[in-house]
Amino acid sequence: MDLTLAVLLLFGIGLVGFILYSQIRSLRKEPDTKKDEILMEWLKTMREEVKGSIDKNSQTLEQQLKAQRETLDKQLSDQRQEVTKQSGMMMQNLTQQLQNSQEVIGRVQKQLGGIEEFGKDIKDLSNVLKSPKLRGGLGEQFLYEILSNILPKELYATQYKFKDGSVCDAVVFTDRGTIPVDSKFPMENYKLSITTENPEERDKAKKLFISDVKKRIDEIASKYLLPAEGTTGQAVMYIPSESVFYDLIVNTPQVEEYARDKNVMLASPNTISYFLKVVLVAYRQHELQKHTSKILAALSGIKVETEKFGEDLDVLGRHISNSYKSMEGVKGRFTKISDKLDNVHTLDKEDEPPKLV
């Protein structure tokens, strides 16, 4: 806008200078009076031309300024609308994000509440496990659940009572005899052996823990291995803790050897599951063999009946053959009789007198 105005002013000044220069040259040739008149006329003309040029330039400038102002106003309006639109979208997104954040915070708070409740449950469970009796009952329930998940009901029994009054947590029935399974949870000294910082106390607790396990092994071997009542030569000591079982097997192999000498197998939740699955496979194979024997016996009976049926069929065939031969003889005799009757009938026709025409 400033550049256009400057160009117009320069152009006007140049035009005025050119006209002034031309008029001065012409005035030099005229007398003074004539010069004054011409000069006044020229000045008047120049004033009008300059005024017209200025008015025209002012009008053009005003139009340009107006157009530029309108363009600028439109651009500002468009930008203001775009900014308003973007601000609205940002506010909407921010509001949605805040709502989502509130929902997430609500869920997190709910989960934290659940974790707090779970922590209380764990604490309660820990208190329960402090009691040997309650801990033993919990181990039995774990054992019963594993048995029910793997074996059919006819293959096991819980709280099995022997004739001497001893009650075993569970027994498994096999074709070779009954396998006693008893749950033991020796935790007190084991917990001390892994939590005590004093090395001497830790070693002492470890020895007491090993002694506790051996006592449980002796108890199972003496109370439940009863061949007179149909038990097998092997019992199972179920330890419902993988960590305790792992510690026994890895760090105290002498305990496993001691249990083996007493014909007691140590088992954790995982190993007893594998053991029960082997029992189930053996049971199914035994049942299959029983059914196979029945099938073979049935096939043997069918074979005997088939042989008898073959003999009867041979006799029937001979009878049919004899009957066929007899029938052929009867048929032959009947044919001969029929032929003779036909011959007699022919003779009767030949003996008739001739007919008169």
**pLDDT tens digits, the chain, 357 residues: what are they?**
555 655 556 666 666 666 665 655 555 555 555 556 666 776 677 667 766 666 676 677 677 777 777 887 788 778 778 877 877 787 777 777 767 777 777 777 676 655 555 444 444 444 444 445 555 567 788 899 999 999 999 999 999 999 989 999 999 999 889 999 998 877 778 888 888 888 888 889 889 989 999 999 999 999 999 999 999 999 999 998 888 888 888 888 899 999 999 999 999 999 999 999 988 888 888 778 776 666 666 666 666 666 665 666 666 666 666 666 666 666 666 676 666 666 665 655 555 554 444
User: In DSSP terms, which residues pair with 235 in a beta bridge?
Assistant: 264
> Within this chain, do residues 151 and 271 fall inside the same structural domain, yes or no?
yes
Q: Is residue 105 part of a domain?
A: no
What single letter denotes the amino acid at residue 14? G
Q: Is residue 302 part of a domain?
A: no
Determine the Cα–Cα distance for residues 281 and 152; give it in Å rounded to an integer: 12
> Within this chain, do residues 257 and 141 fall inside the same structural domain, yes or no?
yes
Q: Is residue 307 part of a domain?
A: no
What total number of domains does the chain contain?
2
CATH at 234: 3.40.1350
Which residues, at least 6 apart from 181, have a Cβ–Cβ distance to it below 8 Å? 143, 147, 168, 169, 170, 171, 172, 235, 236, 238, 272
Q: In terms of residue numbers, what domain contains 189?
A: 129-285
Count of C-beta atoms within a 10 Å radius of residue 275: 18
What pTM value is reported for the model?
0.49
> Within this chain, do residues 8 and 145 fall inside the same structural domain, yes or no?
no
> Within this chain, do residues 69 and 189 fall inside the same structural domain, yes or no?
no
Q: Is residue 200 part of a domain?
A: yes
> Within this chain, do residues 67 and 204 fall inside the same structural domain, yes or no?
no
> Within this chain, do residues 274 and 185 fall inside the same structural domain, yes or no?
yes
